[in-house]
């Protein structure tokens, strides 16, 4: 990021002795230039992570302290913090102006502002494709699962990690890991099988069902024993809007998976 300097390219600092002399005797002050690299920035783990994500260098922060506008930032636990703004960079420090807390690009911050609820809903609806559902056929198969469980030909239980790490956007097209998982399940697990069955008699005895568990600190059963059809595709695609959070605990989810498998087989 290019460093934009104000008309004056140096800062003038008085030593305590010089300041006292100037105040008491009106003597002419001696002045010296402080190089940008001499401005202290004590990095924090959080601050380094945010700078890496936002392509902000440590020197950008030093320049912000040297040339930027200093204003009080919001206090945390009663502790004063300072905000330096310069050349589209906002930089938050502790009360000493030496310890880095966080930083961001002003332009990027504007771009990342959350849209209102209506705009967000409209955007999500455009991004999530839906598959046509034969409602009559779906209802017949769903009824058969509960009334004639012996007709179920297979039961797949999906366990999807929805812990905080699944928020990371390190997959294709900027999707989160969780979004990519559900996209792939819908496209390559459900749609691919449905495409391969085209031309089959809808009245055939094939009844494959799928259950879904999301894993965080505890397990959450999202749905159980849904027929493998267009409705299942749509349900998986809709889970792309679910929020990953907390930790991933495998044991509760594996216990839930075993219970679901036993439940359908024992009906």
Whether residue 215 is predicted with pLDDT greater than 60 in this model: the reply is: yes
Supply the pLDDT for residue 38: 65
Q: Which domains are assigned to the chain?
A: 12-111 (3.30.2310), 130-265 (3.40.50.410)
Supply the pLDDT for residue 122: 44
CB neighbour list of residue 143: distance below 8 Å, 6 or more residues apart: none
CB neighbour list of residue 251: distance below 8 Å, 6 or more residues apart: none
Dihedrals phi, psi of 31, to nearest 5 degrees: -130, 150
DSSP the chain: -PPPP-SS---EE--HHHHHHHHHH-PPPP-EE--GGGS--B--HHHHHHHHHHT--HHHHHHHHHHSEEEEEEEETTEEEEEEEETTEEEEE-TTS-BEEEEEEHHHHHHTPPPPHHHHHHHHHHHS------HHHHHHHHHHHHH-GGG--EEEEEEEE-SGGGG---SGGG--HHHHHHHHIIIIIIIHHHHHTTTS-TTSS--EEEEEEEESSSEEEEEEEEESSHHHHHHHHHGGGPPP-S---HHHHHHHHHHHHHHHHT-
Supply the pLDDT for residue 28: 44
pTM metric for this prediction = 0.54
Mean pLDDT of the chain: 79
Q: What is the tens place of the pLDDT at every residue in 122-148?
A: 455 446 778 899 999 999 999 999 899
Beta carbons of 11 and 32 less than 8 angstroms apart: no
In percent, how much of the chain has pLDDT > 70?
74
Whether residue 51 is predicted with pLDDT greater than 60 in this model: the reply is: yes
Lowest mean pLDDT among 69-73, 126-130, 164-168: 126-130
Supply the pLDDT for residue 96: 86
Measured distance CA(1)–CA(54) in Å, rounded: 11
Supply the pLDDT for residue 62: 85
Measured distance CA(36)–CA(172) in Å, rounded: 39
Whether residue 118 is predicted with pLDDT greater than 90 in this model: the reply is: no
């Amino acid at each position: 990021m290019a460093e934009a300097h104000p008309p004056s390219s140096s800062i003038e600092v008085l030593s305590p002795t010089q300041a006292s002399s100037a105040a008491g005797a009106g003597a002419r002050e001696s002045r010296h230039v402080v190089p940008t690299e001499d401005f202290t920035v004590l990095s924090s783990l959080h601050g380094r992570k945010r700078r890496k994500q936002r392509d902000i260098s440590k020197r950008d922060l030093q320049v912000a302290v040297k040339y930027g506008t200093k204003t009080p930032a919001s206090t945390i636990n009663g502790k004063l913090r300072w905000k330096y703004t310069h050349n589209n960079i906002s930089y938050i420090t502790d009360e000493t102006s030496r310890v880095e807390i966080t930083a961001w690009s002003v332009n990027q911050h504007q771009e990342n502002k959350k849209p209102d609820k209506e705009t967000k809903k409209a955007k999500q609806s455009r991004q999530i494709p839906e598959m046509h559902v034969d409602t009559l056929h779906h209802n017949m198969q769903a009824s058969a699962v509960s009334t004639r469980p012996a007709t179920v030909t297979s039961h797949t239980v999906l366990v999807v990690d929805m812990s905080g790490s699944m928020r990371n956007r390190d997959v294709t097209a900027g999707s989160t890991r969780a979004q990519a998982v559900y996209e792939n399940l819908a496209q390559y697990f459900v749609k691919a099988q449905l495409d391969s069955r085209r031309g089959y008699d809808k009245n055939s005895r094939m009844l494959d069902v799928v259950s879904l568990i999301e894993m965080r600190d505890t397990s959450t059963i999202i749905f159980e024993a849904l027929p493998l059809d267009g409705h299942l595709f749509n349900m998986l695609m809709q889970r792309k809007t679910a929020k990953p959070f907390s930790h991933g605990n495998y044991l509760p989810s594996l216990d839930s998976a075993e219970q679901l498998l036993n439940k359908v087989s024992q009906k």
